[in-house]
Amino acid sequence: MLKGKTALVTGSTSGIGLGIARQLAAQGANIILNGFGDADAPRAEVLQAGSAHGIRVGYHGADMSKPSEIADLFKFADSEYGGVDILVNNAGIQHVANVEDFPVEKWDAIIAINLSSAFHTTRLAVPGMRAKNWGRVINLASAHGLVASAGKSAYVAAKHGLVGLTKSVALETATTGVTCNAICPGWVLTPLVQKQIEARAEKEGISVEQAQKELLGEKQPSLQFVTPEQLGDLAVFLCSPGASNVRGVAWNVDGGWVAQ
């Protein structure tokens, strides 16, 4: 379905971003990976997922907190792939502390990576999408883009902002072949969440397994983690003709979290 399209997925060397990249590759999209750490293993995974379609998989290590590096990323996409057809804004970081104890530098970093980076990528991607009259902007927000939790003021603010950005861009592109939507996952067992579980286990003196059960039980009625593959399948749908009039939606995949 996506053969000939190029998808840029930020923060895609692990977790949700990698899962989405694999699912888009399986539909024939070329993929540009981005993130920290080893890129060879995720690149091999994505190539394998798209092997039936002969896709290309590139990598650019732009630091998504730096607008100049984001600009370099788009120059790379333009020169090597002819631009970006599908933009998945997934890069994100987390820090937990009460607002009065929240380190200013952590606030600034979370807003930069979780929110401002999506502004910079979107402003650079949309002109090319408008020129082709086809494009998809998919923002990975969170259940925390719809509801709040204590101790996560920066993350909640950034994710609420990302949902707002999604709606504005959707309205600005409403008469074109470009759509903009957000996916709002609940708990996904990513390295980021695994660290939170382990920190909770240590703090409360309980097993990691018990900490995991308690984490899910507090928020996610299904008591099951959302998987990167499920989020990737939703991203594929949002790229399909069937979703051509799905615009400005914040689509929660959260095991019932915000239904409560």
Q: Which of the residues 74, 81, 107, 155 is marked catalytic?
A: 155
Q: Tokens for 19? A: 């899962």
Q: Tokens for 39? A: 């890129």
* Look-up of token digits 């695994």: 194
For residue 88, what are the β-bridge partners? Answer: 9, 138
The residues near 89 (Cβ < 8 Å, ≥ 6 apart) are 10, 117, 118, 121, 122, 137, 138, 139, 140, 162
34's enclosing H/E stretch is strand 30-34
Give the Cα separation of 62 and 69 in Å (integer): 5
Q: Tokens for 165? A: 């950005």
Q: Among this protein's residues, is 155 annotated catalytic?
A: yes
Residue 84's nearest CA partner among 118, 129, 52 is 129
State the DSSP code for 186: -
CA 224 to mean position of chain CA atoms: 20
Please list the active-site residues.
Answer: 155
